[in-house]
Amino acid sequence: MYEPRFDWTREDVLALHARPLADLIYEAQGALRAHHDPNAVQRAQLLNIKTGGCAENCGYCSQSSAFETGLKASKLMELDAVLSAASAAKAGGAERFCMGAAWRDLRERDMEAVCAMISGVKAMGLETCVTLGMLHEGQAEKLAAAGLDYYNHNLDTGPEYYPQVVTTRSYQDRLDTLAQVRRAGVAVCSGGILGMGERAEDRADLLVQLAALSPHPESVPINHLVGIEGTPLGGSARLDGLDFVRWIAAARIIFPRSVVRIAAGRESMSQELQALCLLAGANSIFVGARLLTTANPGRDRDEALLDAVGAG
């Protein structure tokens, strides 16, 4: 019981999601307690090391060059600035430092600089993660040699809805990058975004796709869409809060050994809703005032939340 399985179907996941909320959270708590400290919440912090100008047309993203969002593109940050940000993150309680670049793919010309960032952050005793777009043959191995712990590459949604979100890369492209990460011995961080206008079936399909990966992703971030003016998905209807809790619980049950992370969208969530997400099995949050280009609750609100639920 509470062990990973790889044969989930859409019907299985929808049935799980539809269970009475008390039963669903009870089972999610069982899965959490079987493999994790139920009162431990990992604090991760994310830094945008290269902003804007991305060639992809992901319909939720302010950093795409395809949309007019008012975001100014920047060059890759200097090493000292990244390490300073990582040091401040650690001093603020972060245990994991994630670095994101708005690229379609990682170019060899940037590999040395990125590897130096990874090595520098790793030397501070922080868990390292990067999200750099698609990878080419041999690149994951170079990142691993630099000390990379996790590579983030979200599937975003289920394969049927995916063409409504992005057309500049395929679903298989994303799966291929995850396979390269695995072959290099780097842990996988992969999840999706809820609230982009997708159906419940699409959310179930996302979890099915992730659950088919063997082993399961060690990290599963669940994002609530932050609607950004100027993006095609910016006006999407907001997902019901309790429905979001249900999907968190479903993810915990499906991925019992993984870290389930509440990612984007917490800024507009009440403390009570976030507490329910933690009760439903989430055991990591992203801290800091910014999450790439969108607002995050900030240290004071995060500490108040964690104090309120008694999380270490």
Is 189 known to be catalytic? yes
Taking residues 245-258, what's their average pLDDT? 98
Catalytic residue among 43, 261, 266, 277: 261
Note the pLDDT tens digit of each residue in 258-277.
999 998 888 889 999 999 99
Phi, psi of 164 (to 5 degrees): -80, -10
Is 301 known to be catalytic? no
CB 111 within 8 A of CB 144: no
Sign of CA dihedral 17, 154, 213, 32: negative
Phi, psi of 134 (to 5 degrees): -70, 150
Is 43 known to be catalytic? no
Note the pLDDT tens digit of each residue in 24-37.
999 999 999 999 99
3-state secondary structure of 51: coil
Euclidean distance between CA atoms 308 and 8, whole angstroms? 35
Give Cα 269 distance to the centre of its chain: 17
125 against 311, higher pLDDT: 125
Is 61 known to be catalytic? yes
The answer to pTM > 0.85 is yes
Name residues whose C-beta falls within 8 Å of residue 255's C-beta, 6 or more positions apart in sequence. Answer: 4, 210, 211, 216, 217, 220
Domains located in the chain, CATH noted: 10-35+42-303 (3.20.20.70)
Is 98 known to be catalytic? yes
Catalytic residue among 43, 61, 246, 277: 61
Catalytic residue among 43, 174, 189, 246: 189
32 against 299, higher pLDDT: 32
- Joined together, the tokens standing for residue 208 give 């099915």
- Joined together, the tokens standing for residue 123 give 């030397």
Is 58 known to be catalytic? yes
- Pairing outcome for strands 284-287 and 259-262: parallel
Is 290 known to be catalytic? no
Predicted local distance difference test score (pLDDT) of residue 51? 87
Catalytic residue among 98, 203, 252, 266: 98
Note the pLDDT tens digit of each residue in 120-177.
999 999 999 999 999 999 999 999 999 999 999 999 999 999 999 999 999 999 999 9
